[in-house]
A and B are shown apart, each in its own frame.
Chain A
Amino acid sequence: MEILSLLIFIPLVGALLVMLLPRRNPSAIRVMALLWTLGEFVLSLFLYFNFDERVPTMQFQEKVPWFPEWGVSYFVGVDGISLLLIMLTTFLSILCILCSWEAIEDKLKEYYASFLILETAMVGAFCALDLVLFYIFWELMLIPMYLLIGVWGGPRRIYAAVKFFLFTMAGSVLMLLSILAVYFHYGQETGIYTFNILELYKANIPFPKQFWLFAAFALSFAIKVPMFPVHTWLPDAHTEAPTAGSVILAGVLLKMGTYGFLRFALPLFPQAAWASIPVMSILAIVGIIYGALMCLMQKDLKRLIAYSSVSHLGYVMLGIFAFNLQGLEGGIYQMLNHGISTGGLFLIVGMIYERRHTRMIADFGGLSKVMPKLAAFFLIVTLSSIALPGTNGFVGEFLILLGAFRSYIPYGVLAATGVILGAAYMLYMFKRVMFGVVTKEENRLLKDLTKREVVILTAIVFFIFAMGIYPQPFFKKMDVTVTHYLKYLETKR
């Protein structure tokens, strides 16, 4: 087994082991899950440092024929884009296990096993270079997430879980048809029947057909991102999911949509992608502004953060569809940032919820006096979400706006209004929760952060500053890939 297969399947083995542990020993289950995610992270660090950033092609490739007559193979590999997302996945998974330490008391084994299976599916989807393999991992993500929301979620969890599942599935089945259509088109054109995307990139699909195929892929990924008209599952899923579920949903699963655009929808159907720039950009901008406006009037903290995700992911999409270096790199960077800072926000809300069992903004006020440590962390993460210079958010958003201005000035102008709104809703929320006087008696006795929580948030804050002040290492990993990628898109224009 090579490193990528290890990365993909180690969590699955972990899930099986967790299931075999005795139920009466909860701490063993927790420790076991933590050790597996830690091991996975170490392994991904190994991948990170062995990754050669000068090579534009896929690295660590592994290819095992699976159904050779049909051209299906177990084909995995990483480039600069997927590498960073894998790092994000393995990093956030540790935090998710840690933040569930006390919050989850029920059906522990199933919980951690679902989580580890989810990790397998996520890493697998980021590595897959075969469309069938990708689809399998893509669909596999649904079930553990469905269970995480449905079993360990809030009061309306069933509604949210079903909505999440059906939305995603509706999108992905159309993508499946589109995958098959690309496959047969390429097969009939060249005589080579394969699901290998590196091969399929060479397909020349005539325009009207390309448009429909792109539309099917785009719908599927847009639901996952989520882009404006198909985002409605997200606030429900986020609000009802347990903290770790929200973190992983916002941190990684949404990136699956934007990653899908980058890896599949754009390079497979480049002409259609170029033609769709106006539509996608406008939808992205609508998402940015609409998400931000919705945030201003939310009463529930988690719902607010969920809508802010719609807004932030709008930036990512805008950056990707700027089709220039700044936009793309900014978009990818913002994918990481959003994972870190929104993940951080969900973690903090989770910590407050564990103490107070409410997420309503109106129930708080003046928390900074009671919980000074939490207030400090919360402020940093909030500022990162607003994209204050010096934090990671700034680098990403700045590049995206730069890209948008270079692409078409009105896009840039409109998107920039979102920055202002972003500052408005985040600071307004922060003020209502943290500042002022303590009005509710219950809030006076809240305990400040425990050591475990400090560790979790320190890790988040470390990356917020590291990525904000010294982003070079991250860009270095993706520079060659993205330049190469853009060149490819330009030739296919």
Chain B
Amino acid sequence: MVFTLPEINFGWLLPEITVSLTAIVVLLLSVFFRQERAMTLVGTISLIGSGVALLFTWNLWGARVDIMNSLYTIDNFGTFFKILSLIITLLVTLVSLKYVKREGLIKGEYYTLVLLSTLGMMVMVSTNHFITLFIGLELMSIGLYVLCGLLGENVRAVEASLKYFLLGAFATAFLLYGIALNYNTTGILDVRELARFINSGEFSLTPLFMAGMALLIVGFGFKTASVPFHMWTPDVYEGSPTAITAYMATGVKAAAFGAFLRVFYVAFSALLAGWSSILWLMAFLTMTVGNVIALVQDDVKRMLAYSSIAHAGYILITFVIGDPSLSSSILFYCLAYTFMNIGAFTVVIMLSKREGEDTSLEAYAGLAGRHPLVALSMAIFLLSLAGVPPLAGFMAKFYVLAAAIKKGYYGLAIIGVLNSVVAAYYYLRVIMYMYFKEGEREQGRVDISASYSLVLFVSTAALFYIGIFSRDFLLLAGEAVGIFL
């Protein structure tokens, strides 16, 4: 029998291939070597692998092709999100090099699963086909279900894993059901064809189609952790290994927003009036609920979990507007958010210890006296999260608000800024503990090994750079959303 491969230029898939190969190599190696030293080896390999993949992805910038019978698409939009997820993977892997050893996570699967989840993110943002999107989403999610529960001896980890798995399975089912309902009414699985069909005269909005759209919102709302589909977030974020929490809060969110954006801005852009009011409400709830609950948290990890919900709300502000040219601010926000959030979680990792993760606010008391540089970088991350200029977080909010004001969404803009004042309170609270209080009990020294410090340095530098030269990044994001125009 002779197989004929379809005519594919595999060059387009180099990043995905690199990531998959690295994942496989890491898995094989970790089967043979199970000692602690091997973890560093496989960690380094996955670091190199994602670095190489990043370079390959970088070279794809500007390309716009459909391959494999339009099941897979390379365009700037996908490339932007792929670069972002690879950056996230790089940073998280870097942190993990040290973190897994401390937590005793001597399991090679760790890096394999991270890489496979990254592969899932890359797939789901670079397709216009619902089935490929679904495969990507599942690939991403299933890896994470396991990663959440890796700290198996901890009850909260088990809870996190189970909760994420059960609710996640429901959410994906909703998403799939939405796809099916849309397919049922239109017979189309390609996002662009769907758009063409909706714009043609033959289309009429049936209740079934609307139900399909609503289910898609539920599915994506779950993955982006938007209220009211956010219930899993705090527990899962809290119970997961902190490095994975950082990975979820940035990577999953960005990838889910990428796919969400592509589906709704391409396929359903003609039906904007229908979904934007629902999302308006979601944006309002997401910001407000996230911030208000974060106010009363005494645990920094949990506070960051709620704050990540609130940030999804800010992103939704621009989403609601439905203007393709303004949607670049969403991409910019995801980029800026990545660095401040991973940075903040890295400090959380540095401050907690193996014996029962101590992530309470008390642990931060007097940090500025003990470790001025760590405290300073945490302060920068928090101020950026609060949206203080000239950091990247400010510019991200600035562009989101500008979009809202431009299109006359004054209500949402006012809700957004008032929320950012509320948020400032709980971010400042951590700064207050670090700078204004003295540590009451004896705190051990914080582990300042190179892998953590490097992440802190890169993140702080990126926040200043992206904030001050936001133009370059916004224009890049503008090129990425060029596919909607």
Contact = CB atoms under 8 A, between A and B. Distances in A.
Bind each other = yes
Interface stretch (B17-25, B61-69, B96-104, B419-427): B419-427
A243 to B, nearest CB: 18
Contacts of B428: 146, 162, 165-166
Contacts of B435: 147, 150-151
B180 interface: no
B42 interface: no
A139 interface: yes
Nearest to A173: B417
A107 B425 CA distance: 25
Contact of A151 (B406, B417, B436): B436
A66 B425 contact: no
A166 B432 CA distance: 13
B436 A150 contact: yes
A368 B60 CA distance: 80
Given A69-B475, A151-B435, A151-B436, A176 B388 contact: no
A135 interface: yes
B413 interface: yes
Interface string A143-160: 100110011000001100
A143 B428 CA distance: 10
Given A173-B417, A173-B420, A177-B405, A136 B389 contact: yes
A462 interface: no
A174 B432 contact: no
B117 interface: no
A68 B372 CA distance: 37
Nearest to B419: A173
B6 to A, nearest CB: 42
A184 B405 CA distance: 8
A158 B475 CA distance: 41
A146 B414 CA distance: 25
Contacts of A49: none
Given A67-B470, A177-B417, A180-B402, A165 B390 contact: no
B95 to A, nearest CB: 26
A177 B401 contact: yes
Contact of B418 (A67, A146, A173): A173
Interface in A116-149: 132, 135-136, 139-140, 142-143, 146-147
Contacts of B369: 107
Nearest to B435: A151
A3 interface: no
Contacts of A67: 470-471, 474
A135 B417 CA distance: 14
A413 interface: no
Given A136-B390, A139-B388, A176-B401, A158 B414 contact: no
A193 B294 CA distance: 37
A177 to B, nearest CB: 5
A22 to B, nearest CB: 14
Given A143-B383, A162-B428, A180-B405, A169 B413 contact: no
Interface string B444-485: 000000000000000000000000001100110000000000
B389 A135 contact: yes
B390 A157 contact: no
B398 interface: yes
Contacts of A180: 401-402, 405-406, 413
A142 B435 CA distance: 15
A66 B470 CA distance: 9
A67 B470 CA distance: 8
A362 interface: no
Nearest to B383: A143
A420 to B, nearest CB: 40
A107 B394 CA distance: 29
Interface string B392-406: 001000100110011
A174 to B, nearest CB: 6
A139 B386 CA distance: 12
Nearest to A162: B428
B303 to A, nearest CB: 16
Contacts of A136: 389-390, 394
A157 B435 CA distance: 12
B414 A174 contact: yes
Interface in B192-244: none
B417 A161 contact: no
A12 to B, nearest CB: 12
B401 A169 contact: no
Contact of B414 (A132, A165, A177): A177
Nearest to B471: A67
A469 interface: no
A184 B326 CA distance: 14
A181 interface: yes
A170 interface: yes
B425 A166 contact: yes
A184 B471 contact: no
A147 B398 CA distance: 25
B471 A176 contact: no
Nearest to A109: B372
Contact of A177 (B383, B413, B424, B471): B413
Contacts of A70: 471
Interface string B306-338: 000000000000000000000000000000000
Nearest to B429: A162
A110 B373 CA distance: 12
B417 A150 contact: no
Contacts of B383: 143
28 contacts: A69-B475, A135-B389, A136-B389, A136-B394, A139-B388, A139-B389, A139-B394, A140-B388, A140-B389, A143-B388, A146-B428, A150-B432, A158-B432, A158-B437, A162-B428, A165-B428, A166-B424, A169-B420, A169-B421, A170-B418, A170-B421, A173-B421, A174-B417, A177-B410, A177-B414, A181-B405, A184-B402, A184-B406
Listed from nearest, the 6 A-B pairs whose CB atoms lie closest are A173-B417, A136-B389, A180-B405, A67-B471, A150-B436, A170-B421
Given A142-B388, A143-B388, A169-B421, 14 more contacts: A67-B470, A136-B394, A139-B389, A140-B389, A147-B435, A150-B435, A151-B435, A162-B425, A165-B428, A173-B417, A176-B398, A180-B401, A180-B406, A184-B406
Interface of A: 66-70, 72, 107, 110, 132, 135-136, 139-140, 142-143, 146-147, 150-151, 157-158, 161-162, 165-166, 169-170, 173-174, 176-177, 180-181, 183-184
